[in-house]
Chains A and B, each alone.
Chain A
């Protein structure tokens, strides 16, 4: 007969309660948002009475996760950028030329004179005047190659060196290209993230898409053009001579000098010469590494001009500190241990492995490693977003009211049970959306409205079935039980198929479409739950109290 175990009842009510509590913050959207912002600000920069008052606007024991509003609802800018990864190959090979020259020069007797030839992008072409010596020349140039670990784990070299007539042609090997692309993408993402974080907008999305694309979404920014400007500004990385260290920001630095704060030690300032020795534009690469003693360090490499300047400076200043400055903050100020010729060097210090990795990233993050081409850009004004929210809200309410009335008229008391379940259902959708931090978009609202329409389907299936079973006069309890039992397979099949399409939409779609897929998918889950468990529980409770001899559905 109609029975639901106590533990099942508790489980159902608990699920509903948890879902609704999770959804609750969305009813007080502005207040909770202010609370969240204030909490984040306190964590970052300490308390202030104003922030504390804002934070107190929402009790801290309550969940404070909100449904994110998509760009189409909040307004903001969206960019899809393609990173021109090949740019990096060219500069890598350009930087290789001096090395090739230096290694061939001592062997002039065998290879003759060496001349750089105009080369296609992505290759370095060097002509030797005595092709008989090609074998030796190739051997020497190949000696410059470094091993790379490719994705497959196989060890290969980073350079392909072949002879073409009297020319030596150097290209990056496939494994190295993949590795370089990967690094370029990481750097680009890191730099873009730093640039946007500096502006301090709320919840930007910076995501890699595919092999060479980056999706950037920043809510609340005026236009895509503005966003492009922010991303486009290159980080200013400089290497500057250090004059002194101080803990007073107001120290008079003297003519031609400046006082800059340290990046990670608060209250420490450096007095530096204003004119940099070398700038980040001349840095080719930086990688985390280990020094001779096995301590974490960072390897870096300059291009030829940077290398010369840096070599000269270090030769003259052994034992003195020099500062690595990024955007007017001193990242570190190591002491020059020895003359550093050849343009590559190592930065040592009290680094942990993480710190050295981070420093390498920061160093590389100085400037975007490759150009960006913008494939897609969208600006949505905040007014349009607000209009859409308003329209969506009214439409959802009307749709909701329409369905509620319709159900009540059609199924009477049972319709009201279904309506309670429907209201819980909407609460659960918002609870789940908040829980997983999903983004609500305009098509997402449409997804919710569609769910409202379709969520009643499961109940309609059950109620129609109960009606049918009542005709064969088995008594109300039996009819209800059979109604649920027999409708189940249709409900599951129907919802699983729709869920499959929601999953495909989610996987294949992007942006707003994905928002639609999320609400549709979650809506299916919650509507099956509310139809099978919640309405059933409501009906059972009612039935136990009243024990009706006949029912009308």
Chain B
């Protein structure tokens, strides 16, 4: 007996309520955007500048004690948070100390780091500093710029590739779906105030790649079916295509999610935010390739005559047994 996520020969109508799905997506995007504007992202030091110190101690973390010790140094905004993780041993009590970039300093100041470490050692002699990272404001400004450029470039490159391989309506559909995924991911990071750093940008770009993967597979089938069913209307062709690829869509999402969830639970706290972004992206990306990308295709309409005089590989005559 085989495991089937989707039963054979499904025949769902994905577009009977396509305006509703559009509405939901649009609403979520507005919500994300609003959260981004009102609340802002919880930028890590990569993008904001400053210093983070990761401490480890056999004794339980007492945030108040740490705060008092560092507070005496007058370093401005200092955040101290305890980190919990199932992978930690009983003697591992981890805290993250984040110090804002110091005013008027372009570079990183070792004195500040040394002073903070000394202050913490005084209250907790057995404390260890397992990682210390410090980014100057100059670099962090550039990093955020490069990151934004990278995302825009990736989306642009994809737009061009799909345009070349398909038609402009497909490219537009895919790209709007991508923008949808990126905005929703930024939205959830802003809403839940998860630390947003360089690794998250990598995750965003992977989401772009993954969501696209999904969209392209559906589009590929749409193209094939447009040739196969010349007389059916577009909505029907889209529905057939999505239903035909549905089993694959769920299988791939499921295997990817199985792998990602393993990483999320067991991979340690250092990359948890990163993995979270990817899990979210896989879910949103799968949704968007059906309800955003394809719906836009329906909305824009596509050309129906795909037979080219030279192109015999894609039509029904190419596969006749000789």
CB neighbours (8 Å) of A403 from chain B are 255, 258-259
- A392 and B259 contact, Cβ closer than 8 Å, known pairs A375-B138, A493-B220: no
Residue from the list B108, B199, B270, B275 in contact with A377, Cβ < 8 A: B108
Q: Is A388 an interface residue (CB 8 A)?
A: yes
Q: Is A446 an interface residue (CB 8 A)?
A: yes
CB neighbours (8 Å) of B129 from chain A are 379, 381
Q: Is A376 an interface residue (CB 8 A)?
A: yes
Contact segment of B183-191, B210-218, B231-239: B210-218
- Binary contact track A219-230/B, C-beta < 8 Å → 1, others 0: 000011100100
- A502 and B216 contact, Cβ closer than 8 Å, known pairs A446-B267, A450-B260, A517-B202: no
CA distance A538 to B179 in the complex (A): 40
Q: Is A378 an interface residue (CB 8 A)?
A: yes
Contact segment of A107-115, A163-171, A267-275, A452-460: A452-460
CB neighbours (8 Å) of A402 from chain B are 258-259, 262
Residue of B nearest to A495 (CB): B213
- A450 and B256 contact, Cβ closer than 8 Å, known pairs A442-B271, A460-B251, A501-B205: yes
CB neighbours (8 Å) of B131 from chain A are 378-381, 384
Chain B contact residues, majority secondary structure: helix
- A464 and B258 contact, Cβ closer than 8 Å, known pairs A457-B213, A512-B199: no
- Binary contact track A327-362/B, C-beta < 8 Å → 1, others 0: 000000000000000000000000000000000000
CA distance A387 to B87 in the complex (A): 9
Minimum distance in angstroms from A420 CB to a CB of chain B: 16
Contact segment of B14-22, B64-72, B158-166, B302-310: B158-166
CB neighbours (8 Å) of B41 from chain A are none
Check A411 against B2 for contact (C-beta < 8 Å): yes
Check B319 against A482 for contact (C-beta < 8 Å): yes
Q: Is A17 an interface residue (CB 8 A)?
A: no
Q: Is B208 an interface residue (CB 8 A)?
A: yes
* Residue of B138, B162, B244, B251 with most chain A CB atoms under a 10 A cut-off: B251
Check B255 against A443 for contact (C-beta < 8 Å): no
- A508 and B150 contact, Cβ closer than 8 Å, known pairs A225-B110, A378-B133, A464-B247: yes
Residue of B nearest to A411 (CB): B2
Residue from the list A80, A379, A449 in contact with B260, Cβ < 8 A: A449
CB neighbours (8 Å) of A446 from chain B are 263, 267, 271, 274-275, 278
CB neighbours (8 Å) of B195 from chain A are none
Q: Is A497 an interface residue (CB 8 A)?
A: yes
Q: Is A509 an interface residue (CB 8 A)?
A: yes
CB neighbours (8 Å) of B202 from chain A are 443, 505, 509, 512-513, 516-517
- Binary contact track B261-302/A, C-beta < 8 Å → 1, others 0: 011011110110011001000000000000000000000000
Q: Is A490 an interface residue (CB 8 A)?
A: yes
Q: Is B25 an interface residue (CB 8 A)?
A: no
Residue of B nearest to A394 (CB): B266
Q: Is B80 an interface residue (CB 8 A)?
A: no
Minimum distance in angstroms from B265 CB to a CB of chain A: 8
Q: Is A398 an interface residue (CB 8 A)?
A: yes
* Residue of A72, A403, A501, A504 with most chain B CB atoms under a 10 A cut-off: A501
- A500 and B252 contact, Cβ closer than 8 Å, known pairs A383-B130, A403-B259, A494-B216: no
Q: Is B124 an interface residue (CB 8 A)?
A: no
Q: Is A370 an interface residue (CB 8 A)?
A: no
Minimum distance in angstroms from B9 CB to a CB of chain A: 8
CA distance A219 to B263 in the complex (A): 25
Check B150 against A381 for contact (C-beta < 8 Å): no
Check B259 against A399 for contact (C-beta < 8 Å): yes
Q: Is A374 an interface residue (CB 8 A)?
A: yes
CA distance A552 to B8 in the complex (A): 14
Check B271 against A493 for contact (C-beta < 8 Å): no
CA distance A224 to B52 in the complex (A): 13
Q: Is A60 an interface residue (CB 8 A)?
A: no
Interface size on B, residues (CB 8 A): 78
Check A460 against B199 for contact (C-beta < 8 Å): no
Check A450 against B278 for contact (C-beta < 8 Å): yes
Minimum distance in angstroms from A272 CB to a CB of chain B: 37
Residue of B nearest to A498 (CB): B209
Residue from the list B87, B114, B258 in contact with A225, Cβ < 8 A: B114
Check B213 against A454 for contact (C-beta < 8 Å): yes
Q: Is A407 an interface residue (CB 8 A)?
A: yes
Residue of A nearest to B87 (CB): A391
Q: Is B30 an interface residue (CB 8 A)?
A: no
Check A409 against B2 for contact (C-beta < 8 Å): yes
Q: Is B132 an interface residue (CB 8 A)?
A: yes
Chain A contact residues, majority secondary structure: helix
CB neighbours (8 Å) of B259 from chain A are 399-400, 402-403, 449-450, 452-453
CA distance A502 to B154 in the complex (A): 9
Check B135 against A376 for contact (C-beta < 8 Å): yes
Q: Is A550 an interface residue (CB 8 A)?
A: no
Q: Is B119 an interface residue (CB 8 A)?
A: no
Residue of B nearest to A456 (CB): B255
Residue from the list A396, A454, A500, A516 in contact with B158, Cβ < 8 A: A500
Minimum distance in angstroms from B272 CB to a CB of chain A: 10
CB neighbours (8 Å) of A468 from chain B are 244
CB neighbours (8 Å) of A460 from chain B are 248, 251-252, 255
Minimum distance in angstroms from A69 CB to a CB of chain B: 15
Residue from the list B113, B201, B251, B255 in contact with A464, Cβ < 8 A: B251
CA distance A412 to B217 in the complex (A): 24
CA distance A380 to B87 in the complex (A): 18
CB neighbours (8 Å) of B173 from chain A are none
- A493 and B216 contact, Cβ closer than 8 Å, known pairs A391-B266, A395-B267, A460-B248: yes
CB neighbours (8 Å) of A376 from chain B are 108, 134-136, 139
Tell me the B115-157 residues at the A interface (CB within 8 Å).
128-136, 138-139, 146-147, 149-150, 153-154, 157
Residue from the list A374, A399, A510, A520 in contact with B262, Cβ < 8 A: A399
- A497 and B252 contact, Cβ closer than 8 Å, known pairs A398-B262, A406-B258, A412-B2: no
Residue from the list B2, B106, B251 in contact with A373, Cβ < 8 A: B106
Check A454 against B216 for contact (C-beta < 8 Å): no
Q: Is B198 an interface residue (CB 8 A)?
A: yes
CB neighbours (8 Å) of B110 from chain A are 224-225, 228, 374, 377
Residue of A nearest to B278 (CB): A450
Residue from the list B107, B220, B267, B321 in contact with A374, Cβ < 8 A: B107
Q: Is B227 an interface residue (CB 8 A)?
A: no
Tell me the A407-447 residues at the B interface (CB within 8 Å).
407, 409-412, 442-443, 445-446
Check A501 against B209 for contact (C-beta < 8 Å): yes
CB neighbours (8 Å) of B255 from chain A are 403, 406-407, 453-454, 456-457, 460
Q: Is B56 an interface residue (CB 8 A)?
A: yes
Residue from the list B3, B136, B153, B224 in contact with A410, Cβ < 8 A: B3
* Residue of B108, B146, B150, B319 with most chain A CB atoms under a 10 A cut-off: B108
Residue from the list B2, B161, B248 in contact with A500, Cβ < 8 A: B161
- A379 and B132 contact, Cβ closer than 8 Å, known pairs A225-B113, A392-B267, A478-B321: yes
CB neighbours (8 Å) of B278 from chain A are 446, 450
Q: Is A496 an interface residue (CB 8 A)?
A: yes
- The 10 listed contacts between A and B (C-beta, < 8 Å) are A377-B132, A380-B133, A395-B262, A399-B263, A443-B199, A449-B259, A454-B210, A456-B251, A457-B213, A500-B161
11 additional contacts (CB under 8 A) given A383-B56, A395-B265, A460-B252 = A80-B139, A378-B134, A395-B262, A395-B266, A395-B267, A399-B258, A450-B278, A453-B258, A490-B217, A516-B199, A516-B202
Q: Which 3 A-B pairs give the minimum distances between C-beta atoms? A: A453-B256, A391-B268, A453-B259
